[in-house]
Amino acid sequence: MSELYEKLIFDLSSDGHAGISLPHLDVPEIEISDIIPPEFLRKSPPVMPSVSEPDVMRHFVALSRKNHHIDKGFYPLGSCTMKYNPKVNENLAGLREFVDAHPLFPENAVQGTLSLLYELKDLLCEIAGMDSVTLQPAAGAHGEFTALLMIRAYHKKNKRNPNKIILPDSAHGTNPASVVMAGYEVVQIKSNDRGLVDINRLSDHCDDDLAAFMLTNPNTLGLFESEIQKIAHLVHDAGGLLYMDGANLNALLGLARPGDMGFDVVHFNMHKTFSTPHGGGGPGAGALGVKSNLEPFLPVPVVSRKKDRRGDHLYFLDYKRPDTIGRVHSFYGNVANLIRAYCYIKNLGPEGLKEVSETAIVNASYLREKLKDMFELPYDGETMHEFVLSGSRYKARGIKTLDIAKRILDFGIHAPTVYFPLIVSEALMIEPTETESKASLDNFVEVMKTIIGEIESDPEKVKSAPHDTPVSRLDEAMAAREIDICYNE
């Protein structure tokens, strides 16, 4: 695209240009100061660029091409599931009937939205094997926090006050953060040499003071915790609850259910598994499924229904719940995400959802086999929707995983997650997702081969990457900490 449109929109501006021309008004003109008090009036007019409609389009299309995004290329970001999401769900969530519904409308005016939310709860219960669902939390981390408050309320109701939450050392960073925010103490246990929960270490900590064990399954190495039932028994026997971090449920849909494995509570990320584009800049939704033991403590309001006098269903927001932990979000939660999730689930149906997970697993396994000899696969069990390689052999030769990740960008591919989980040195965490074709996966393998070749032939090229992106390598710490300086320069 021409450099002309890469300029700031203010530099494109020239007097007299306009995007649209409005007809002359046929009502009398009045002075704005006659209707708006002077203290609210601007002292000088706002600075606005004068640009024609095509110039505006080209400017913003040029901007959109500077960033990498899922509509542009492969995005194998492990743990954070950047998959292509059906655009039809955007249209459905954008229907006027949903968008124009004010959160303060009376319940009888939003029966459609409420019935959709009610049905979504049922669908999520069925998918995860749970008894009830709250749609309130605004993100995965918020779901974790909400669940921990419910876990505290549950123990309190049972006249107990245990203080510790156990996490494996492969846990996502939001887990310990949520634990601390909820006022609990984190106990981290080291994984065994297969990358799974070490049952002996776990049982050492299963005592009176155990409030819950938070686990991701498949874990962040992509490995299924095969001893999950034993784990559930240990935790429950100590009086604790079992929490599942289900942010990425896309390995399990239609194949296995957290509820059947013994989990008491699970959060789902609508913005990873169920259609809302993750990282799209908008809000997320971290619904929470619970077993009946935790149901009384759900945050309010709970979308409920009753029969009216004619025997028809009447949907309503239930606030009268004596044991509730209270509110965690305003009104209904982030409804647009919930509508997309509903459409996604209904559109695919049980067979389609199962195929999502099967394909995610096949795609990840294919890449793992193609790439494992180029790197190291420190935990080489059968992985599911993602897998974690180590670049430590290249580190020894002066090339960090970060360098490889930056070089990947030059090929129009987003880098995988790097340096997570923490238990793998020089980690590259790769999740292709179910929406990639074999050609796209093969292309990624070829790119990785090329980069490995460059480490031999031209290591400086890798160390100084990226070369072909709009900006070269950034000082990321400074960019985060001194945002003003970066901006002004």
Ligand X SMILES: *Cc1c(COP(=O)(O)O)cnc(C)c1O
In the complex, which residues of this chain contact ligand X (CB under 6 A)? 79-80, 139-141, 172, 174, 216, 220, 245, 247-248, 269, 284, 286
CA distance 435 to 191: 31
Q: Measured between alpha carbons, how far is 300 from 317 in angstroms, rounded to an integer?
A: 8
Measured in residues, the chain has a length of 489
**Smallest distance, ligand X to C-beta of residue 339, A:** 18
Least gap, CB of 361 to ligand X (angstroms): 17
Residue 140 vs 259, nearer CB to ligand X: 140
Find the shortest distance in angstroms from Cβ 357 to ligand X.
16
Nearest CB to ligand X, comparing residues 429 and 455: 429
Shortest distance, position 144 Cβ to ligand X, whole Å: 7
Tell me the C-alpha distance between 107 and 128, whole Å. Answer: 28
Distance CA 428, CA 400 (A): 11
d(CA 436, CA 414): 14
Query: What is the closest distance, in whole angstroms, from the C-beta atom of residue 247 to ligand X in the complex?
Result: 3
SS3 348: helix
Residue 460 burial (10 A CB sphere; 0-12, 13-18, 19+): exposed
Phi, psi of 63 (to 5 degrees): -60, -45
Nearest in space to 406 (alpha carbons), one of 303, 485, 475, 312? 475
Which CB sits closer to ligand X, 12 or 139?
Answer: 139
**Which CB atom, from 334 or from 401, has the smaller least distance to ligand X?**
334
Please say which residue, 145 or 394, places its beta carbon nearer to ligand X.
145
Question: Can you tell me which residue has the tokens 């965690």?
Answer: 328
349: three-class secondary structure by DSSP: helix
Nearer to ligand X, 374 or 423 (CB): 423
Residue 201 CB, shortest distance to ligand X, in Å, is 21
With a CB cutoff of 8 Å and minimum separation 6, the contacts of 164 are: 184, 185, 186, 187, 205, 209, 210, 211
Query: Based on CB atoms, which residue is closest to ligand X, 391 or 421?
Result: 421
Least distance CB 187 / ligand X (angstroms): 18
Tell me the residue nearest to ligand X as measured from the CB.
140
